[in-house]
Chains A and B, each alone.
Chain A
Amino acid sequence: MNFFKKQAKQIDVESIKKQLSNSPDLVNRTVTVGNKTIELYFLKNLVNRISIEKNIISFLNNSTSEEINLNYLFEHLPITEVKELVETNDISKYILDGFTFIYLPSEKKGLFAGVGDPVERSLEKAETESLVYGPKISFTESLSTNIKVLRHNVSNPNLVTDEIILGERVKQKVRIVYLNDIVDPELVTSIKDRLNNIEIDDIMDSSVLAQFLDDNPYSFFPQYLMTELPDRVIYSINNGRVAIFVDRSPTAVICPSTFFSFFETTEDVYLRWILSTVLRWLRMIAMVLSIFFTAIYVAAVTFHYEVIPSRLLVTLGQSRAQIPFPPILEALLLEIMIDLLREAGARLPSKVAQTMGIVGGIVLGQAMVEAGLTSNILIIVVALSALSSFTAPSYEMGTAIRILRFPIIILAGVWGFNGIIIGVCFLLTHLLKLTSMNTPYLAPLYPFNSMDLKYFLFKLPKEFYINRPLTNQTLDKRRLIAKKEKSDRDIDDEM
């Protein structure tokens, strides 16, 4: 008998070692209680040692040898997460997840005890998306923390978090989060289908996942909203959308996202409706300005002097008198400079970045004007359009807009206002062609839906929000907002 036991044990150790590619971190600890030996296998970097010492080893030492069997451990081990061994191949998978494998040679059976100590940082303030109002907390790199944050905020049994494992070489947990009673079930199945069809070694980040889900991979518009704000995710799933979380990534992917949802922030919900409508429109106008302002300058100065009012024309002529370049070159030069500044600012440590902003922005700009390379007015134009592009609440959309500016400027330099309009036509057609998880990108503008405009283009007082956005095709169309009773109170009547 003894012989057999030993053989079984040895095979086990070898197979575990083999499965874990002979990792030097693998600890094989044997605990002897009376005449029974119990073996523990774990990776020492992944587990919480105190938990093993207190909850497993000292627990075993305090039990008698007759008590110890698989059932007993299953029922009495003071550890929250205990799992049964089903397949031998599972051993490595669970050990890699931070479980400890407790093996009973006498029964040739074992179980897993969750004593993992995941690497994570504490919950911090959001950095890429900043809000003035509202909750500041942001997601972290740990999937379980993110789900925890979400569950804390939405105590609703209908909140579903389906798990899918993706990646061939690096197994990655992906969670699909939605509200069961609101979301369109077809949307969920199509998302799951697409996720299951992804073949990749390693999904680095949720943004990579989003690119795999893209309907139109050749477009430079982001097709899914990426956010690190829990309240934004909650707002979206409340409106019948789906959020996708990836382990190791602090950003959630919200799908489907329409063009206009990139210009709304949750702050719009928190602020009074007039303010948020004005702010949302300000952002839209900023987008238009950012794309077209420099191009209009180039077109007007190159081709259409007639359009500029005569007084402005004099100022413009004076400031451009010394400049040796054609307007398009001048504009491209300055635009590229601004983008260089921005890119350098993003790469540098934040302390240096400030200094560089001053050097680059003020000194270089001033010097360029004095050296007669660019005109003052163009500096204003370019700075304004750069500033406008930063108002987009989504970083990806802001970047897309900034890049979009260059082809439009070139078109304007080639064929004036007509060129710009040609650019507009291309842009419009492109946006019309785009879809995000089969939802038209330009919804609710096209297909036109007047009821949904209040969600995407402006905000109205709360009485108008009786239905959820129709574009999302939610199961439960009505929101639970009590209809305001019509009061027939006249002027000066008491309440």
Chain B
Amino acid sequence: MGIPRVLYQETKQDAWIVIILSGLILSFILLIMIYTLKKFNDKDLFQIHGILFGEIIGKIINTILILYFLSAFYSIMSEYIELVISWGNEGVYYWFPAFVLIVLSIYGVFGGVKVVAGICFITFWFTFWLILLLPLTFDHFIFERIAPIFNTPVVDIGQGMLKTTYSLLGFECILFIYPFVKDKTKVFRFTLLGIWFTLLLMLSLTIVSILFFSPNHLKHTIWPILNMMSIVRLPFIERFEYIAVSFWILIIYSNLTLFLWIASKGIKRVFKLRQKKGVYVSGILIFILSFVINDRDSTEKFSDFVNYFGFCLWICYPIFLFLITKVKKV
């Protein structure tokens, strides 16, 4: 939700170029990932680490992965709670939405991989229609705002790409879901489709925000998309963004269950705990965390850290992994 602003701060009106460039990079990374996965058929990344680096080092790396997914869970959740507390739920205790969302995700994960996939699939259709509202903001566009193009220094574009890539993270889940996919030949095609769909969505949202807001306004709006939605006025609903804020739960819900599922799977692999216990342990850990990191500053720092962490893990690390499999000739 906040992406257009972040990008705009870095690259001004050229943000859309950045998005396309990072899309290309991501596709390349994905290609490498799938290639590596194909080498070890029917293994997820946790098991691959065990094979490549041996028991102990593999476990250490897997623990890092688990920590990543738990912190990614928390960062998504805290960003949403931040949003919900500022829009219409002022004064709600921080731990309350955290508790509800954690319980909800635990309930989802308990259904197993099929239910998690189902949640991702169905919530997508439940939220997809929100995009259709964007054309309603058309009246307020000023097209000159996109021009002039190509006037951002290369360094800034690099910075922007860094930020885009980690907001596009999520495709790394394929490393863990891969063993459950029936038709392995289509994995690459559909994951690529997923990445480019997200990219296209982000592209259109960014362009719309650039056209909609004046430069200064956009720089100071934390959730530009939400602000745009308040323009949308239907005959029976005013202030549409309140509904959008609640529907946002569905979007993050699929992410939360997926991440929690991966984390608990990892806990099962590393610590030989039952997955159910892993889910409970992770839930409790995250809940405790919600008492520690719960104001605007610290959550922002935390999610910056998670983003950086994710960037290292899923953009740089796959290349390393790929090279190692090449060297070791698995």
Contacts and interface: CB of A to CB of B under 8 A. Distances in A.
Contacts of A442: 118, 122
A422 B100 contact: yes
B242 interface: yes
B316 interface: no
B71 to A, nearest CB: 22
B84 A421 contact: no
B89 interface: yes
Given A433-B111, A446-B118, A448-B121, A309 B236 contact: yes
Contacts, number: 83
Q: Is the interface of B mostly helix, strand, loop or mixed?
A: helix
A418 B243 contact: no
A22 B224 CA distance: 87
A424 interface: yes
- Chain B interface: which size bin? 20 to 34
B123 A307 contact: no
Contacts of A415: 89, 92, 100
B104 A416 contact: no
A458 B4 CA distance: 39
Contacts of A445: 122
- Chain A interface: which size bin? 20 to 34
A304 B242 CA distance: 8
A304 B119 contact: no
Nearest to A448: B121
A310 B247 CA distance: 23
A429 B123 contact: no
A406 interface: no
Interface string B234-253: 01111110110111011001
B104 A432 contact: no
A425 interface: yes
Given A306-B239, A307-B242, A309-B236, A446 B121 contact: yes
Nearest to B249: A421
A133 B131 CA distance: 42
Given A418-B89, A422-B104, A432 B115 contact: yes
Contacts of A310: 238
A425 B249 contact: yes
Nearest to A428: B122
A420 to B, nearest CB: 7
Interface in B252-298: 253
Nearest to B108: A429
B238 A425 contact: no
Interface in A417-454: 417-418, 420-422, 424-426, 428-429, 432-433, 442, 445-448
Interface of B: 84, 88-89, 92, 97, 100, 104, 107-108, 110-111, 114-115, 118-119, 121-123, 126, 235-240, 242-243, 245-247, 249-250, 253
